[in-house]
Structure 1
Amino acid sequence: MTDPTRTIDCTHVIGPTGSLGAQTIAIKGDAIAAVTPSKSAAAEKLLAMPALVNAHDHGRAVRTSSIGADAMPLEIWINYIGLFPAVDPYLAAAMSYANSALGGAGTVMNHYTRAQGLTDLPTEVAEVARAARDVGIRAGFAVSMKDRNPLVYGDAGPLLAALPAEARREIEARLLKPPLSPQDYIKLVDDVAAAADSPHFNVQYGPNGVQWCSDELLQAIAKASERTGRRVHMHLLETKYQRAWADETYPHGVVRMLDNIGLLSPRLTLAHCTWANQYELDLLAERGVTITVNTSSNLHLHSGVAPVPQMHKSICKVAMGIDSKALDDDDDALRELRLSYLLHAGTGFDLQTTRLQALQQAVGNGRFAVTNVNDGGRIEPGAAADLLLLDWAALDNDGLRDDLDPLHVLYSRATRAHIRELIVGGRSIVTDGRVLGVDLPAVRAEVLDKMRAGMAANAGMIQALAALQPGVTKYYLDMPCC
């Protein structure tokens, strides 16, 4: 139960205009009632900031590096995800959402590109929604939709023909399942929404990406989104190979094509846009599209560095995602915030954005993209009581100056280890490294036990993927590329 009233005395509060100094935050129900100068001489050594947002993720319970999916480009890495054994969807989601909360994210987008498949999808997603509710985070949920290019961006026939017979059988059985029709995909999203949608769990259309979705499917999604008002969450131009494929397939421009079919709107979130050009960014900004930048994931998968300064120049709405692949594979949203800012802010005196602006964009744009509610995500009266409280004494453990800008300290050294409490909607969901709504150690133990038991069935697929990798590598190295 949420306490009807609560006050928190803080050494520092990061408000809409920057550091407010020592303040008392009053929470009533699920909202901030007041923010006033602290009169307590014994104010706790806390830094209060808006709870962070992971605006693009895939809800994986276990790190992909644990199944050997690491140190390789997306185009081969993505096939390794099939090695994860199916487990109870509630437990998997609870583990994923709890890890996100421990990393400082109170709002999380889940592009559900791999279902557990133990029941029909609406029943499964209802369990995912229950896990989000128990952990206490706000969630967006995009239903995976794809109907072309399941193996490579083009004809996979020669690649399959070159495989040993056993490897080919494994690949075809695991990775080449027939897709739904566009109409059936739209109905599936409606069914999932009927089973799971709520004010704290926003169901969205989730086309995996243009290279994986036919024009007919994308057109059906654009029409359905316009009709229902439901958001769309999609990957775009994540890698240079996707850029090359898009330029060949859509010589007049892939982003222009998306605009022509009505998909570009404020209802659309695009993950990555790592290889987008200035014209495309200008058009995305004009249409009000949100771009979620996934800095660590791009580095891990050798996808490149997103043109964030150009996004700022175009006045794009930019959010922050972790993409289930944080720098240390640990869902640390604070470290992701710092890395993304330092890598993309600019050089020398020519900075494209300030630390405060980067924080406000990551939280404000991210909350809208995930929840479809444009409430800003700031610490001010009337705002949702979504707060991240950090241990200021541990952050400033040198204690040499009492006039340090807490934003500078935050961006210099804050990690998940400094989190004292995460509050979402006035409810404390993490305290001193412990998730309050679920027994995470027990959940983790059960998930890993089931996954370890299930890995025995993957021996053939592991060998098949090893046989597939040289052919996929050659396919893309031979592709005329940017």
Structure 2
Amino acid sequence: MSLAPHSDAVDCAWLLAEPGLRPAQAGMRIALDGERFGVIAPRDAAGPAPRLLALPARANAHDHARTFRSATLGAFGQPLESWLPFLGTVPGMDPYLCAATSFARSLRHGVANLMVHYTRVQGGMDYVDEARAVARAARDVGVRIGFAVAMRDRHGIAYDDDAAVLALLRPGIRDAVARRLAVQPVEPALQFAQVDAVARMVEEEGLGVHVTVQYGPTAVQWCGTPLLEAIARASVDTGRPVHMHLLETRYQRDWADAHHPGGIVRFLDAIGLLSPRLTLAHCTWARPDELALIAERGATIAVNTSSNLGLQSGIAPLAEMLRQGCRVAMGLDGMAFDEDDDALREMRLAYALHRGWGYERAMTPAQLWSFAAGHGPRSVGGALVSGGRIATSAPADLVLLDLEALDDDALFDDIDPLELVLARASGRHVAQVLVGGRLVVDAGRVLGIDEPALRAELLARMRAALAADPSHAQWRRTLGALAEDLGPLYREGRIGRCCG
């Protein structure tokens, strides 16, 4: 079956309207009413229904719009603290090409709503122009994004003053590390002006249907208290969402305990950041009392299962988050298990890891679907945005899986389609994707852009730039040395634990 780009109905063999809450329905027709679902009822057409399984589109509640993947950059196996600098091993490229290829990869795997914490600026142009290129890429690809303008003012090399860290490194790399990584603080007023300028651009160019502008403090260890307090006040005044990292690694936990002995989450609450407008990425090392306060204040936690595994950060206490009543959403963080942005596989991995052992159930299928599809749209579009279900008047974000491929041995006709999804579904089973009632992926191809051509152009430009500038090879060697130096410093507690 192939839908026309503006069809007014979708027929399917099975419908999972609210997976885990309502049973699968056989032989259904899903009417489309503009950008929302219309009437949903049993189909009355002659002949068998197309062998498609309809389910809600996924959301990616934490990501960065990076197109080049970790292993490609030579960063595989590095913990977060030494992995981060590897993101700068390649030169900046056309931000439209980078964003469009990244968004297309996510969309092909069934993601309709995608968070972009824009921490990696490509450079070479005015920031607002770069943000415009990213916003246009979202529009052309057909996804909705939250665009969080990254904000920071300290600690560019490690979780301490840059000068203090440089003094602990081998002398031969200090100058290069300082030039590339040391923070050049920007006054908070200028950072807020940049956020406001991006928001005006989005509004003036009519891109608001695809882009929600947010404040993006990178994390408490990278933002001084005055900057965080100003962000909290601005979020109250404007209603603008806030997106930030928190307690991703054990070394961030050590830093937090040393610098905020009264509790880092209580600190965020005291300055007014902890609210339904806030999404906290990771919380891998959060404690039960901290999770209880996050839940009480209505903030969202974006858990990034594969990223935490790949960067050796730990396993988030997702079961405890659910027990405490936290709103938890799925993030891919540009680090899905196979580095392919496969949101279906990510969802299944999270379920396998967190559902409980033996006969104990810590996460239900319904909770899994809220995690994978229901809560993420809030992180992307704001606290009033909903998603994750197929119902009349709900946003028409839909993924159709190829049942012939998903149930390729098909021995019985009474197998629950949800069990097939949880057992084996991946991006290769995605037949079509609709976002806002519009067909945007068909037979594995993104319809709004020529993804293969854009990717080929991006790779050609990148390879030419690397060939023309041999300094990138030397920088990669420097980063290897930096990683060797940072490891013992973190293990021995010589970085980040002193409050002096």
- TM-score bracket, shorter-length normalisation: over 0.9
1:127-166, aligned counterparts within 5 Å? 127-161=133-167, 163=169
**Which among 26, 31, 35 is matched to residue 36 of structure 2?**
31
Q: Shift in Å at residue 404 of structure 1?
A: 0.9
1:163/1:252 Cα in 2 relative to 1: closer, same or farther (>3 Å)? closer
1:159/1:217 Cα in 2 relative to 1: closer, same or farther (>3 Å)? closer
TM-score by length of 2: 0.93
- Paired residues of 1:386 and 1:426 also in contact (CA < 8 A): yes
**1:239 paired to 2:249:** yes
After superposition, the C-alpha distances for 1:368-394 in whole angstroms (9 at most, x for unaligned) are 110114223310111111000000111
**Which among 202, 216, 231 is matched to residue 212 of structure 2?**
202
After superposition, the C-alpha distances for 1:70-96 in whole angstroms (9 at most, x for unaligned) are 101000000111112111111111011
Q: Which residue of 1 aligns with 2:126?
A: 120
Tell me the number of residue pairs that the alignment of Structure 1 and Structure 2 aligns. 482
Aligned to 1:33, what secondary structure does the other structure show? strand
More moved, 240-249 vs 38-47: 38-47
Q: Which residue of 1 aligns with 2:9?
A: 7
More moved, 360-369 vs 306-315: 360-369
Q: Which residue of 1 aligns with 2:421?
A: 410
After superposition, the C-alpha distances for 1:21-51 in whole angstroms (9 at most, x for unaligned) are 2211111211111110123432000010011
Q: Which residue of 2 aligns with 1:466?
A: 480
Q: Shift in Å at residue 298 of structure 1?
A: 0.3
1:274/1:162 Cα in 2 relative to 1: closer, same or farther (>3 Å)? closer
What amino acid does structure 1 have at the position aligned with 2:456? A
After superposition, the C-alpha distances for 1:427-473 in whole angstroms (9 at most, x for unaligned) are 11111111111111111011111222223341221122122122211
Q: Measure the CA separation in 1 of the matches of 2:223 and 2:116.
A: 19
Q: Measure the CA separation in 2 of the matches of 1:114 and 1:286.
A: 32
- Paired residues of 1:3 and 1:28 also in contact (CA < 8 A): no
Aligned to 2:125, what secondary structure does the other structure show? coil
Q: Which residue of 1 aligns with 2:491?
A: 477
1:409-448, aligned counterparts within 5 Å? 409-448=420-459
More moved, 152-161 vs 217-226: 152-161
**1:21 paired to 2:26:** yes
After superposition, the C-alpha distances for 1:296-354 in whole angstroms (9 at most, x for unaligned) are 00000000000000000011000000000000000000000100111111122221222
Q: Measure the CA separation in 2 of the matches of 1:177 and 1:278.
A: 33
Aligned to 1:351, what secondary structure does the other structure show? coil
Q: Measure the CA separation in 2 of the matches of 1:255 and 1:245.
A: 13
**1:365 paired to 2:378:** no
**Which among 258, 268, 274 is matched to residue 284 of structure 2?**
274
Q: Measure the CA separation in 2 of the matches of 1:163 and 1:349.
A: 50
- Paired residues of 2:162 and 2:183 also in contact (CA < 8 A): no
**1:454 paired to 2:465:** yes
Q: Measure the CA separation in 1 of the matches of 2:25 and 2:370.
A: 15
**1:327 paired to 2:337:** yes
Q: Measure the CA separation in 1 of the matches of 2:84 and 2:65.
A: 15
Aligned to 1:323, what secondary structure does the other structure show? coil
Q: Which residue of 2 aligns with 1:347?
A: 357
**Which among 105, 116, 125 is matched to residue 99 of structure 1?**
105
Q: Measure the CA separation in 2 of the matches of 1:345 and 1:477.
A: 32
- Paired residues of 2:157 and 2:165 also in contact (CA < 8 A): no
TM-score by length of 1: 0.97
Q: Measure the CA separation in 1 of the matches of 2:170 and 2:322.
A: 49
Q: Shift in Å at residue 249 of structure 1?
A: 0.3
Gap runs ≥5 in structure 2: none
Give aligned-pair identity as a percent. 48
Aligned to 2:481, what secondary structure does the other structure show? helix
More moved, 330-339 vs 445-454: 445-454
- Paired residues of 1:170 and 1:460 also in contact (CA < 8 A): no
Q: Shift in Å at residue 111 of structure 1?
A: 0.5
Q: Which residue of 2 aligns with 1:219?
A: 229
Q: Measure the CA separation in 1 of the matches of 2:481 and 2:394.
A: 54
What amino acid does structure 2 have at the position aligned with 1:475? L
Q: Measure the CA separation in 1 of the matches of 2:224 and 2:461.
A: 36
Q: Which residue of 1 aligns with 2:293?
A: 283
What amino acid does structure 1 have at the position aligned with 2:231? I
Aligned to 2:8, what secondary structure does the other structure show? strand
Aligned to 1:149, what secondary structure does the other structure show? coil
Q: Shift in Å at residue 3 of structure 1?
A: 6.0
- Paired residues of 1:272 and 1:294 also in contact (CA < 8 A): yes
More moved, 3-12 vs 263-272: 3-12
Q: Shift in Å at residue 203 of structure 1?
A: 0.6
**1:315 paired to 2:325:** yes
After superposition, the C-alpha distances for 1:181-207 in whole angstroms (9 at most, x for unaligned) are 122211111111111251320010001
- Paired residues of 1:167 and 1:463 also in contact (CA < 8 A): no
More moved, 451-460 vs 97-106: 451-460
Aligned to 1:18, what secondary structure does the other structure show? coil
More moved, 445-454 vs 414-423: 445-454
Aligned to 2:375, what secondary structure does the other structure show? helix
Q: Which runs of 4+ in 1 moved over 4 A?
A: 2-5, 162-166
More moved, 32-41 vs 143-152: 32-41
What amino acid does structure 2 have at the position aligned with 1:7? A
Q: Shift in Å at residue 140 of structure 1?
A: 0.7
More moved, 367-376 vs 469-478: 367-376
Q: Shift in Å at residue 160 of structure 1?
A: 2.0
1:4-83, aligned counterparts within 5 Å? 5-16=7-18, 17-40=22-45, 41-83=47-89
Gap runs ≥5 in structure 1: none
Aligned to 1:251, what secondary structure does the other structure show? coil
